[in-house]
Chain A
Amino acid sequence: SSELTQSFSVSVALGQTAKITCGGNNVRNKNVHWYQQKPGQAPLLVIYRDSNRPSGIPERFSGSHSGNTPTLTISSAQAGDEADYYCQVWDSSTVLFGGGTRLTVL
């Protein structure tokens, strides 16, 4: 089982804001990265090192890491944002992924 804890699912109304969190002792003082995965596709990096957005990722995607709760925020959620979202950290030379959160846009 994953040592990073994510809610199994999150629902958000179209155009509203969704927040996905990543918990666990392993996130303290570590850089957290976030990936989006749509059915049949490879994961896509959407936030790296807590709050940085790769080129090509919409500004609606943002990340924060205050206290011990890294959070991925998706503002003005669109139908195309429906996907599974995974957090990830490095723990020494081990890669840890969260269990994933299924985002549903209503």
Chain B
Amino acid sequence: EVQLVQSGAELKKAGESLRISCQGSGYMFINYWIAWVRQMPGKGLECMGIIYPGDSDTRYSLSFNGQVTISADRSNSTAFLQWSSLKASDTALYFCARSSVAGTHDAFDIWGQGTMVTVSS
């Protein structure tokens, strides 16, 4: 079964660092773009950035450039989303999603279950 499994919910304090993960299985992880998507409470979907695990080519959406770091570990078929200093406004549900066609930008056919990050001030 093709799936993305994300790490569990996090409760952190403002100023702390955090890395959440998204592990793919059932397909050739390195060949498909992965996106990280934020959903703030009661709000819509926002793409934070994308990564191609094959060569770690990473692109950040304008609003998130410099705010987070996206990376991937090919050997463990895992993508990561990282913050060096969390803010209360980072409180949100974070999804990873796979672009459906190898090597190209297409619809996101596989989604992780989501990781809830709560940051207290």
> What residues of chain A have their CB less than 8 Å away from a CB belonging to chain B?
2, 31, 33, 35, 37, 42-45, 48-49, 54, 84, 86, 88, 90, 93-100
Task: Give B contacts to A, CB under 8 Å.
Answer: 35, 37, 44-47, 50, 59, 61-62, 95, 97, 100, 105-109, 111-114
CA distance A2 to B44 in the complex (A): 9
Q: Contacts of A48 on B, CB cut-off 8 Å?
A: 100, 106-107, 109
Given A31-B106, A88-B45, A97-B37, 5 extra CB contacts under 8 A: A42-B114, A44-B111, A49-B106, A94-B62, A95-B47
- In the complex, A94→B111 CA distance in Å? 18
Whether A97 contacts B61 by the Cβ 8 Å rule is no
Q: Can you give 16 A-B contacts (C-beta < 8 A)?
A: A2-B44, A33-B106, A33-B107, A42-B111, A42-B112, A43-B97, A43-B108, A45-B107, A48-B106, A84-B44, A90-B105, A93-B59, A94-B59, A94-B62, A95-B35, A97-B37
